[in-house]
Amino acid sequence: MTLHCFDSAIFSNAWSTPELRALLDEKTRIKGWLEIMGILADVQARYHLIPQNIATLLRETCESLPIDDALLEEARIGFETSNHSLLGLIRAVQSRCPADVGEWLCFGVTVQDITDTQTARTLKQVRYRLLSLLEDNCALLARLIADHHETILCGRTHGQPGLPISFAYKAAIWLDECQRHQQRLKEIGPRLEVGQLCGGVGSLSSLGAEALNLQKDFCQRLGLETPSISWINSRDRLAEWMTVLAMITATCDRIGHEIYNLQRPEIGELREGFVEGTVGSITMPQKRNPEISEHLGTLSRIVRYAANQMLENLVHDHERDGRAWKAEWVILPEACLASDKALSLLRVLLDKLEVNTQRMADNLAATNGFILAEAVMLKLAPMLGKQTAHQLVYNLCICAQKEGISLREALLTDETVGQTMSPEDITTCFDYHANIGQCQAMSERVVKLQTDNKRSIS
């Protein structure tokens, strides 16, 4: 029986990708645990904690052991009998070891040594995948910027037209934010990808006089950083990771929400690319819904709430607290799956995005010139003073809107304006391209950063 959308035979691909499900699958996780147990035995033998021949047999068993239904069932029964997270699996593996070799399995270590280390290894792979997806999305945003440097639309504040901007500028803000997420994912690596080998309370008391060297070798064998001190009750690494995921998916949501709003027929400036066969409604045949944009919001909410729960888990009792630690087993996989899916969906959304430049121009024209009121005010300010000019233009806008005339018409008939501005001066205020400020320069600066980043990586 399937209880979760992430595992649903019908819906799973709407909530996650096959690639990440395979990485976070239970059998993959158990395989990782067994690999760690085998490497641990090898390293312990080097430091004479267990016999070398025993270590070799343990590693060979852990590497070759099939993770089949029989093993899983035995591990389940062992867990339910002992109520211990890993003892059921350890006993199941022990029963498959030759002779008494299994007696040495996980010698002197604790559950979190195995599970935290596997979590760090898994998140390392997730981080690389998310970096790759972000790179794809950044490239698509750079393409949008290049295609729409000359595309002008309404810049809106509080949901209302404010000033003209370029669409390249809007996309460049998205790109700039994604670039910072790339930086965050790169910077978090050394803090996140840290092994755990510390024993019951973190003191390494069971690992001998050379425990710190043993720990270092163990982590290096697994491609992880060595902790400066045990972190079984210090979960800030994972809280930072979850916060970064929340920020990344919130950006996906923000972009999707903007497209969701601009796809409204009464605005009609952007639209999700149509896929043949997509149905918006089983009762309203005409519907073409912004399904991807909407679903980005759903996925982002899952991650944001998971990040909030992870922050709760920072508060631990003493040297170990199962209440906080075990909650990670639920929220970490969900957050990773949802984040991966969000970035994958964003890639589709940006790649197929339809930009209606004519509708953008029509919506600008529909403002009757009022969107350029700032330019008029700034033109009048040197002669009248800024506050006086603001009040004058404000009054003209109110009157013109009541009379149903354009701002240009109102200016041309106003006596005060006529004394300070010629008709030609007034006309120069109504050039949209001349009133987008530094949109183009800032967009180019962001694209240059993207190009520089790609060069530094290559």
Ordered domains of the chain (ranges, CATH): 5-46+50-104 (1.10.275), 111-209+224-363 (1.20.200.10), 370-429 (1.10.40.30)
Nearest to 57 by CA among 21, 23, 30, 96: 96
Report the share of the chain in percent with pLDDT over 90: 87
- In three-state secondary structure terms, 161 is strand
Q: Which residues contact 191 (CB under 8 A, 6 or more apart)?
A: 237, 240
- Helices 26-46 and 69-82 sit at what angle, rounded to 10 degrees? 80
- In three-state secondary structure terms, 164 is strand
- The model's pLDDT over 363-390, given as tens digits with 9 standing for 90+, comes to 999 999 999 999 999 999 999 999 999 9
pLDDT at 103: 94
pLDDT of 337 strictly over 60: yes
pLDDT at 278: 75
Rounded Cα–Cα distance for residues 43 and 212 (Å): 12
Catalytic residue among 48, 158, 181, 234: 158
Rounded Cα–Cα distance for residues 59 and 366 (Å): 73
pLDDT at 25: 94
**Residue 40's pLDDT band (boundaries 50, 70, 90)?**
very high
- The model's pLDDT over 132-147, given as tens digits with 9 standing for 90+, comes to 999 999 999 999 999 9
**Residue 12's pLDDT band (boundaries 50, 70, 90)?**
confident
pLDDT at 282: 65
pLDDT at 283: 75
Q: Is 281 among the residues known to form the active site?
A: yes
pLDDT of 1 strictly over 80: no
Catalytic residue among 48, 95, 281, 433: 281
pLDDT at 280: 67
Q: pTM for the full model? A: 0.94
Q: CB–CB of 238/330 below 8 Å?
A: no
pLDDT at 281: 65
Q: How many residues does the chain have?
A: 458
pLDDT at 279: 65
- The model's pLDDT over 79-117, given as tens digits with 9 standing for 90+, comes to 999 998 899 999 999 999 999 999 999 999 999 999 999
Name the E strands within 291-376.
Answer: 354-355
Question: What is the mean pLDDT of the segment spanning 8-18?
Answer: 86
Q: Is 158 among the residues known to form the active site?
A: yes
